[in-house]
Amino acid sequence: MTNAVHAQQGPGLAPAEADLQALHTWAMRIQANIAQVIVGKEDVVQLLLVALLCEGHVLIEDVPGIGKTTLAKALARSLDCTFRRIQFTPDLLPTDVTGVSVWDSRTGEFVFRPGPVFAQVVLADEINRASPRTQSALLEAMQERQVTVDGISRLLERPFLVLATQNPVELEGTFPLPEAQLDRFLMRVSLGYPDRETEREILRRFGSAATRDDPLLRLEPVADGASVLANVALARRVFVGEAVASYLLSLAEATRHHEDLALGVSPRATLALYQTAQALAALQGRGYVLPDDVQRLVEPTWAHRLIPVTRQRLHGVDAAEILRKIVAQVPVPVEESWSEKAVP
C-alpha cells in the first residue's frame, strides 16, 4: 500500500511553498470568522476544515445546547455556501431528505422537487432518531455524492459536507447507526462543555441586551466554494514519507490484533487517516506530514470505527481509551527530515 501511495503521488508534485502559505492564510481567515460566534472551539473548527479538504463528512456527538447548529451555520456562511438543516425524527421519510417527483398538471409531466440534501453544507440533526431506511438515504448521498430518484441520478454540488449530530446521553426512541454506516463518516468529534473562562466570555459577548441579536446575521463570507475545491486538490499533493506511512500502517495493524478490540480499522479508515494527515499539514502551511499529524487525528478518525470486546464494554472502557494505549505502544519513527522526497 505504501509503495502504491508514493507511486500515485509521484516525484515533483509537492505543492509550492507560496500555495501552502496561501492555504494557511485561507484557513486562518475562516477560523477567525467562525470565532466571532463560536468561542473557544478552534480545534473543532480545524477538524471541520480537515474534513472539508478531504471531502469527507463529520459526526458530531454531543449534548444539546453546545452550539452544533450555530457552528454549522457559521461554517456555511464563512464559505458562502448553501446551508440546510434536517431535523431527523422517526416519521421522516427518505424522500423528505432526497426530494420527490410531483405531478405538474400544467405541463402534464412529473417535476422533481429537490430535498434539503441538495445543499453544500447539510446539518443532519439527531440522525439516530430517524429510521434505518431514512438514515441510509442520507448516507448514500454522502458516499455517492448524488441522489437517485425515479431512476434518474442527480449530482450534488461540490463542496458537499454533511455534519450529522447525535445525543450520546438520551438514547430512548433512537436507531443507533450500525458499524457499516459509522464507517462512512470521516471523523467523529465532540465540542464538549466550555471551560469557565470561555463560558464567561460567551456571557460577556452575547449575554447583554445590546448583543442579544443573532451573531450569525453579522457574519460575512471570507471564502467561497471555488477556493475550497482548489485547496482540496492542493492538500492531496502533500508529501507523506515512507517512515510516516509505515507508522500509520503499524497503528492500523495494531488495532486489528489488539486483544481488547473485536473489530479493528478497515483499509478505508487507514486511507482516511492518511488523507486527513495530509489536510492537517496543508492547513498548517506545511508540504509534508509529521507523525504528530497522525497522532493528532487518529482518535477522531478511528475511534468511532472500532468495537471493544464485550468484557471491556462491560467495564466501561471505550474505543478511544484503547486507541490511546495503542498509540502509546507503537514506536514513533524518528527522522531528521520528514520533507525529503521518496526516490522514484
Share of the chain above pLDDT 70, in %: 91
Q: Vertex 263, ends 259 and 267: CA angle to 5°?
A: 120
Distances, alpha carbon 190 to alpha carbons 58, 278, 334, in Å: 10, 22, 31
φ and ψ of 124, to 5 deg: -95, 95
Residue 31: per-residue pLDDT: 96
Least confident of 137-151, 185-199, 281-295, 298-312: 137-151
How does DSSP classify residue 339?
T
The predicted-structure confidence for 199-212, as pLDDT tens digits, reads as follows 888 888 887 655 56
Does position 222 have pLDDT exceeding 80, yes or no? yes
pLDDT at 152 over 60: yes
pLDDT over threshold 60, residue 12: no
- CATH assignment, 2-329: 3.40.50.300
Beta bridge partner(s), residue 153: 148
Using the structure block, give the residue that is written with the C-alpha cell 452575547. Answer: 206
Q: Considering just the CA atoms, what is the radius of gyration of the chain in Å?
A: 21
Bridging pattern class, strands 187-189 and 261-263: unpaired
Residue 110 has a pLDDT of 86
The span from the CA of 270 to the CA of 325, in Å, is: 18
C-alpha triplet 226, 231, 234: angle, nearest 5°: 135
Rounded CA separation 47/51 (Å)? 6
Unique residue bearing C-alpha cell 446551508: 83
Round the average pLDDT of the chain to a whole number and report it: 88
For residue 248, what are the contacts with CB-CB under 8 A and spacing of at least 6? 270, 273, 274, 277, 294
Distances (CA, A) of 99 to 132, 144, 152, 210, 324: 17, 16, 12, 41, 42
Say how far apart CA 77 and CA 220 lie, in whole Å.
7
**Apex 51 CA angle, 84 and 81, nearest 5:** 35
Q: What is the DSSP string of 250-300?
A: HHHHHHHH-TTEEE---HHHHHHHHHHHHHHHHHTT-SB--HHHHHHHHHH
Confidence of residue 108 (pLDDT cuts 50, 70, 90): confident
Instruction: Please state, in angstroms and rounded to a whole number, the distance separating the CA atoms of residues 245 and 241.
Output: 6
What are 17-67's pLDDT values in tens digits?
Answer: 899 999 999 999 999 999 999 988 999 999 999 999 999 999 999 888 888
